[in-house]
Amino acid sequence: MVLFLCLLLFFTTTLALNTITPGQSIKDGETLVSAGGSFELGFFGPKNSKSRYVGIWYKKVSTGTVVWVANRETPVSDASGVLSINHNGILSIMNRTKGIVWSSNTSRNASEETIAQLLDSGNFVVKDRNDSDPTNFLWQSFDYPCDTFLPGMKLGRNFVTGFDWHISSWKSMQNPAPGLYSLRTDPQGLPQFVLKKGPEILFRAGPWNGAYLTGRTLPTVNPIYSFEFVWNENEIYYEYEVQNHSVYTRYLLNPSGLIQRTIWNERKNDWEVFATSQADQCSIYAYCGPYATCNTNESPPCKCLEGFMHRSASTEDINSVDWSNGCTRRTPLACEGGDSFLKQTGLRIPDTSKSWADLSIDLKECEKLCLKNCSCTAYTNLDIREGGRGCLLWYGDLTDISELNEGGQDLYIRLATCDLNHIQNKGRIKEKQKAAIIAISVIITSGMMLLALWLYVRRKKLRKTGEHGKEDLELPAFDFATVAMATNNFSSNNILGQGGFGPVYKGTLIEGQEIAVKRLSKNSGQGLEEFKNEVTLISKLQHRNLVKLFGCCVRKDEKMLIYEYMPNKSLDYFIFDQTRSKLLDWRIRMHIIDGIARGVLYLHHDSRLRIIHRDLKASNILLDNNMNPKISDFGLARKFGVDQTQAKTKRVVGTYGYMSPEYALDGLFSTKSDVFSFGVLVLEILSGKKNRGFSHPEHDHNLLGHAWTLWMGKRPLELIDTAFGDLYNATEVLRCINVALLCVQQSPPDRPNMSLVLLMLCGDSVLPQPKQPGFFIERNLPTTDSISEKNEMFSIYESTITSLEPR
């Protein structure tokens, strides 16, 4: 009898683990666990908060990762909350006073056998215990997703009821209330999936084309997943299932608006980001404006469709970052009988919010329909499978088009017939040119051998010029006449700026390539050594976040370096200007910080040489068309051996405000010196203020001291640039400030290396508390930015430098 009672008690407890019935409740501290142990439901609270929410989180892996919250906007203020279900099948959360803070909206009649059950899919359902249909629910949490899209959930819309299955971000990492971002169906035209920030579209996952979502947000051929897309007169939705149930995966819309596909990595015991939908600038909605395509492999990434031209005739506008105005037709449409269609291939099709579709119409009939309507601008197949079928027509501007490296669709774009004839004639000319090129290829090959010999002899001569005739330039040599012609004979109108090396000119080569020319000034504080140093080092470095050196020019006393031209100038041009700083929103600044970190990491760890830059500063960070940061000016850089950790010099060169204490005071430099400079840069990017020359009515500290004071006073967000307004991610900002303060700590061993810096910036682990920064008590410094003489800063530390060089 005792054994029977024990077994009865065991089975009763086990059954109750994942189920509550009318009259039962879950108090704060009690939980339900799904039958397979994958998920757990109960009350939880964000860190350092008394607010309590009912949520579902992973149990078997990543304990504490919340996937659903019931009372997102109405937390219980203390631990008195109770979750219960009544006889009508309605779930309720009550507070201490028995007030209902949240309840489910069960839409169907419940029976006396109604239960609420947590399934092993993570779905919390209300159902009739006696109903044999395992999918017949009176209510389910999967109908009300939060920031997580789980296997089995729907993303879409019910056309009959208007019900919208969508996910929305948390307001912050500590606040599960609906945030600014949502991933949902846009029902206008051909329904498509879009990421929105409020009413504004940020990213377009696109419509279904029979094989995949055209935005390629989610893969379609995968051994882990299987996908289903349903579209009929009653509803449209997208869902996925996991084929291997030992794999845990989810889609997360984080508070920053990023859609991330993550998989649980058992080996690392952590979530691994497998893909991010907004992977590049071409993911930004309508980045290139109407009638333009975006291709991340090209610079600039935007270009007009054939038959269209940029709305501005200015070369500067065409090469700029902002292409939001897009392109316009070269020739207006004639409409009745005077138009034709140009076939473009390999495209992500345009925004379909102003489109019309019919699966029963073939492509020929589709073309006729488009020609009959003067507002129709393009057409394609609705379904690309089995050679294509159905008709999709666009009305109005064609927006948000990308060129895909693989896959993509055909798009038939309406043009005036004269434009189409011009394009086709150009194509025939190109074919003839190709034939001519093949015919003379043998001659060119022979000529190249002679040219190579001539270049070898010429390079030998160039190596003999300069100091002692021994430097090895290892770069293509430009004729002085070529450089002079490109810069309009070094016209003052072409000067981009003035650095320690000398003036920098903008130039344009005969073939149209824009360049930046650094010309060594006779009065420059830098000389032949710095010139040789920059040439020999940067010629061996290749990284997307380092400025590209095309070549050099040496003629007697003339020494010049020829770089790629950066149309957006340098970082200091933006962040220290009250007006231009508004152009750098939080997302762009985070992108710049990440790019600088990757560039420095390459210099320290991943390049063929181990390089210490020694002069990282805002003016040495150049910005390309897409606001990608590029580290420049390697005149002061030094090469380290594999086992070398630091070096010492009597000739200290660099820039006040960015130099580490051990370098400025003792001439010691290492990778940790660059880490210090990087930390200063991050604080400047976040605050929009210079470290040097910073002033505050409450103290005499520099920017580092100010940041430290705010950090210790638990007011770090007061540091950030007012240009952000409220449009920033507080969690990411705090992480950046924390990392920056770790980088500028007084002692070099306390500072992280760049690989750890990058991990800390991109990860979500708990960061260590920083120690006091170097130069925390800096005062009475000279007003100029460059080192020119011994001054009171060094007397504070009772140390002097043997030699100080201007910079």
How sure is the predictor about 90, in pLDDT bands with cuts at 50, 70 and 90? very high
Q: What is the mean pLDDT of residues 254-271?
A: 85
One-letter amino acid at 575 equals I
d(CA 61, CA 39): 9
How sure is the predictor about 442, in pLDDT bands with cuts at 50, 70 and 90? low
Which ranges of 719-774 would DSSP assign to H, the alpha helix?
Answer: 730-743, 754-762
Is 572 assigned a catalytic role? Answer: no
Task: Record the tokens describing residue 617, joined without a space.
Answer: 């500063």
pLDDT of residue 15: 38
Geometric angle at alpha carbon 367, from 363 and 370, rounded to 5°: 135
Q: SS3 for 149?
A: strand
Q: Over the chain, what is the mean pLDDT?
A: 82
pLDDT of residue 796: 23
Q: In residues, how long is the chain?
A: 807
Most confidently predicted of 153-167, 395-409, 630-644: 153-167
CA dihedral 138, 140, 144, 145 (to 10 degrees): -160
> What DSSP assignment string belongs to 162-179?
--EE-EEEEEETTEEEEE
Q: What is the mean pLDDT of residues 219-246?
A: 79
Which one is predicted more confidently, 219 or 768?
Answer: 768
How sure is the predictor about 313, in pLDDT bands with cuts at 50, 70 and 90? low
d(CA 693, CA 420): 60
The 3-class SS string of 584-612 reads CCHHHHHHHHHHHHHHHHHHHHHCCCEEE
d(CA 358, CA 328): 28
Beta strands in 658-768 (DSSP E): 668-670
Catalytic residue from among 615, 624, 674, 721: 615
Side-chain half-sphere of 272: how many Cα atoms within 13 Å? 10
Main-chain dihedrals φ then ψ at residue 769, nearest 5 degrees: -75, 135
Domains of the chain in start order, with CATH, are 18-144 (2.90.10.10), 145-279 (2.90.10), 282-430 (no CATH), 465-564 (3.30.200.20), 571-804 (1.10.510.10)
Q: What is the mean pLDDT of residues 485-500?
A: 85
How sure is the predictor about 386, in pLDDT bands with cuts at 50, 70 and 90? confident
Q: What is the mean pLDDT of residues 259-276?
A: 81
pLDDT of residue 11: 34
Q: Which long-range contacts (CB under 8 A, 24 or more apart) does 589-593 make?
A: 589/685, 589/686, 590/732, 590/736, 591/627, 591/628, 592/621, 592/623, 592/627, 592/629, 592/685, 593/681, 593/682, 593/685, 593/736, 593/761
Comparing CA positions, the residue from 508, 505, 513 lying closest to residue 558 is 505
Q: What is the mean pLDDT of residues 530-544?
A: 73
542-599 tens-digit pLDDT = 788 999 888 888 877 788 889 899 988 899 989 998 888 888 999 999 999 999 999 9
Side-chain half-sphere of 583: how many Cα atoms within 13 Å? 15
Q: SS3 for 544?
A: coil
Q: SS3 for 542?
A: coil
How sure is the predictor about 316, in pLDDT bands with cuts at 50, 70 and 90? low
Lowest-confidence pick of 240-244, 440-444, 797-801: 797-801
Comparing CA positions, the residue from 367, 354, 351 lying closest to residue 399 is 351
Q: What is the mean pLDDT of residues 334-359?
A: 91
Side-chain half-sphere of 212: how many Cα atoms within 13 Å? 15
pLDDT exceeds 80 at position 691:
yes
Which one is predicted more confidently, 636 or 446?
Answer: 636
CB 641 within 8 A of CB 595: no
CB 72 within 8 A of CB 53: yes
Q: What is the pTM of this model?
A: 0.55
Beta bridge partners of 125: 117, 140
How sure is the predictor about 121, in pLDDT bands with cuts at 50, 70 and 90? very high
Comparing CA positions, the residue from 151, 181, 155 lying closest to residue 168 is 181
pLDDT of residue 219: 43
Q: Determine what percent of the chain is predicted with pLDDT higher than 70.
A: 81
CB 339 within 8 A of CB 414: yes
How sure is the predictor about 755, in pLDDT bands with cuts at 50, 70 and 90? confident
Sign of CA dihedral 207, 212, 216, 220: positive
How sure is the predictor about 107, in pLDDT bands with cuts at 50, 70 and 90? low
Residue entry with tokens 């606040």: 175
160-216 tens-digit pLDDT = 999 999 999 999 989 999 999 999 999 999 999 999 999 999 999 889 888 888 876
Q: How many CB atoms lie within 10 A of CB 156?
A: 22
Q: Determine what percent of the chain is predicted with pLDDT higher than 90.
A: 45
Comparing CA positions, the residue from 311, 318, 321 lying closest to residue 291 is 311
Most confidently predicted of 85-99, 333-347, 474-488, 535-549: 85-99
d(CA 577, CA 598): 25
